[in-house]
Chain A
Amino acid sequence: MTIKSLKARKDDLSSPKNQLKFLSNGIFQNGGLPTFKDKISQTGNFPLKPKKLEILQLNLGYMCNQVCSHCHVDAGPDRKEIMTRETMEQCLEVIKNTGAHTLDLTGGAPEMNPNFRWFVEEASKAGIKDFIVRSNLTIILANKKYHDLPEFFKKHNVHVVSSLPFYKREKTDKQRGSGVFDKSIKALQMLNSVGYAQEGTGLKLDLVYNPSGAFLPTDQQAMEHDFKVALKEDFNIDFDNLFAITNLPISRFLEYLIASENYEDYMYALVDAYNPAAVENVMCTNTISISWDGWLYDCDFNQMLELKVDSKVQHISAYNEDLLNDRNIIISQHCYGCTAGAGSSCQGSVA
């Protein structure tokens, strides 16, 4: 269990430039594996272009109450980068006029942003069809001031998407920290008790599964079935859908892959599982990711690698959806994580 972010440890990999360099050297330089650009060129997908914008994803900050060993954000209590109210106001203007049907708030723990509740209240007035908050669950129990979050989410008809790496204690705690499983279970029960994932309420609760190690997720439907049976039997918990998400080889997960000598095998597995059908629907083609300081990215991963959109418009203050939709999407070898097998996105499988 990592107790500090890469940034706080001043690790070489805390620099996105070093991560990108690592991902372009070695097996991708000596001909062992094709670069992502070469691979998608073979199927006529280069340059990768956006389709219709469907999702605006806002990262409200990298501060988090947890320090998960696989975190691609390198989030943690020691990260102080959080979205200001001024940037939120700029986001609200964009939300009011966007063609996107989904608003997706993430972090860190987005709930830790001091303006989180104000922002949710304002954003929920904009008439967005699907309003997602990605909650790590434990935040609900982390402090008294968060205990009423389930009620708050319900009040604003928020679609809660929560991480639960596994339906058993051991694997969850290994990835996310000791005690995380029990707190997550308690938080899920609280969400169920206010009506989440209960028939007739319309309150949606989805779970995110990501592998706790150097392997890829298997069939999302099979996994969802196992999760549903186990959580119902053991804890009487209901949820709607399970999203199986592949861990991308960046940030703390990249650190783990290298330290455990799994990096090469993992990259081979990703490349072997390359699926052109997943490229067609990869999430950067329908998403814009906005960072805590208002910069625009093709996805949350490119945000963490500091790869801003390749467009005249790069900041929320100059947001222009038509101009942005004409951009080329920036790619590197980490993109193989979204095109392996059934594909992977913040909404789960794509192919």
Chain B
Amino acid sequence: MSKNYYDPADLRKFGEITEWSEELGNKFFDYYGKVFEEGALSAREKSLIALAVSHVVKCPYCIDAYTKDGLQRGITKEEMMEAVHAGAAIESGATLVHGVQMMNKYKKLSM
């Protein structure tokens, strides 16, 4: 067993999760595949959303996978970085909007 929590080679073993729970695993991969098909949003747009979310959930496997997916789709590095910023802005906004809670509490407790 590896001494590191993350091994890049584990990404290609992702499908193996099905071996220990076939029904749930298959359902997940069917769902996953369906989500990224062309729909009301293009597969290209979904790839950029996936890249942004990958950063927000801090998943190194997902970052590798969707950087490569973006390259394959001809997505530029500028588009990729803007997507990461969109994710980062929501994440920092989510922190900062709690500042209102802090302000409310502060005001309530203060004379």
Contacts and interface: CB of A to CB of B under 8 A. Distances in A.
Interface of A: 166, 168, 211, 213, 215-218, 222-223, 226, 265, 268, 272
Contacts of B73: 218, 222
Given A211-B71, A218-B74, A222-B43, 18 more contacts: A166-B74, A168-B76, A211-B72, A213-B71, A215-B68, A215-B71, A215-B72, A216-B72, A217-B72, A218-B72, A218-B73, A222-B44, A222-B73, A223-B74, A226-B74, A265-B8, A268-B12, A272-B12
14 contacts: A166-B74, A211-B71, A215-B68, A215-B71, A215-B72, A216-B72, A217-B72, A218-B73, A222-B43, A222-B44, A222-B73, A265-B8, A268-B12, A272-B12
A168 B68 CA distance: 18
Interface in B60-77: 68, 71-74, 76
Nearest to A167: B74
Contacts of B68: 215
- 6 closest A-B pairs by CB: A218-B72, A215-B71, A218-B73, A215-B72, A215-B68, A226-B74
Interface of B: 8, 12, 43-44, 68, 71-74, 76
Label chain A's interface by main secondary structure.
loop
A226 B12 CA distance: 29
A243 B12 CA distance: 28
Contacts of A213: 71
Contacts of A223: 74
A71 to B, nearest CB: 20
A272 B65 CA distance: 14
From B8, B44, B74, name the one whose CB has the most chain A CB atoms within 10 angstroms. B74
A218 B44 CA distance: 11
Contacts of A268: 12
A29 B44 CA distance: 37
Contacts of B76: 168
Contacts of B71: 211, 213, 215
